[in-house]
Amino acid sequence: MIRILPACAFVLILVSAYFYLPARRLIVYKLGVSGDTTTSCCNEDILSKTGDFDESANIAFFNGKEIDYPKTSLAQNSFYSVRDSLVLGKDSDSEDERWIEVSLKEQVLRAWQGTDIVMEFPISSGLWYPTPKGDYQIWYKTRFQRMTGGSKELRTFYDLPNVPSNMFFYKGFAIHGAYWHNNFGVPMSHGCVNAPLANVAQLFEWAGPKVPEGKNIVKATDNNPGTRVYVH
């Protein structure tokens, strides 16, 4: 009898953990049995074709709960553009290569120009689905983008209109602003790289491809290439 007590206690702990939602979420996502088919913050099929600010959106959800949606401040920023020469404090005509480093271990993003770090700030990478490691290039940019996904049952559901400053570097994975949390420095997302609004707005203007004046989207081309993004 005494011998089986530790085993029973272990089973009881496992069962209790499974029915405790925060623990259950971590377990089922880690094992890949969550039923959540969201594998990036934004499906490629629903990428914005205009990148315009959606005035009709008035509500936002994160982790299954309605959140404060800063529509007014986001709308004001939709008309704001940072001059490239002032963005990160280095000569915009410099021929030094621009590239972006995302450290998943440190939860930090660094913008490099040649061998100089011109910007550094905390980020939140994938919690429920891992941010893919690798060497990429930004292939598509949108100033604003609706993002939806997650699981209502597990309370990871999100419906976030007007996500700002989106830089897609691999399929539907992007570096983008996050207005729904301020917990940068720890993983929080479905695979994208969440960043503070002010920092990512500067990065958006600095990184290629350059968005043509009067437009809110751009796709990388040979003549307007995307900035390299190294995720490790």
Convert the pLDDT of each residue in 138-176 to its tens digit: 999 999 999 998 888 888 889 999 999 999 999 999 999
Which amino acids are annotated catalytic?
176, 192
Asked if the model's pLDDT at residue 79 lies above 90, the reply is no
Neighbours of 1 (CB within 10 A): 5
For the chain, what are the domain ranges?
1-33, 38-231
> What's residue 18's pLDDT?
52
CATH number of the domain at 38-231, out of 2.60.120.920, 3.40.720.10, 2.40.440.10, 3.40.50.1400?
Answer: 2.40.440.10
Asked if the model's pLDDT at residue 195 lies above 60, the reply is yes
> What's residue 211's pLDDT?
97
The per-residue pLDDT of the chain, averaged, comes to 86
Convert the pLDDT of each residue in 166-194 to its tens digit: 999 999 999 999 999 999 999 999 999 99
Q: Are 145 and 166 in contact (CB under 8 A)?
A: yes
Most confident by average pLDDT, 30-34, 43-47, 83-87: 43-47
Rounded to the nearest 5°, which phi and psi values hold at 31? -85, -10
Rounded to an integer, what distance in angstroms lies between the CA atom of residue 68 and that of residue 72? Answer: 11
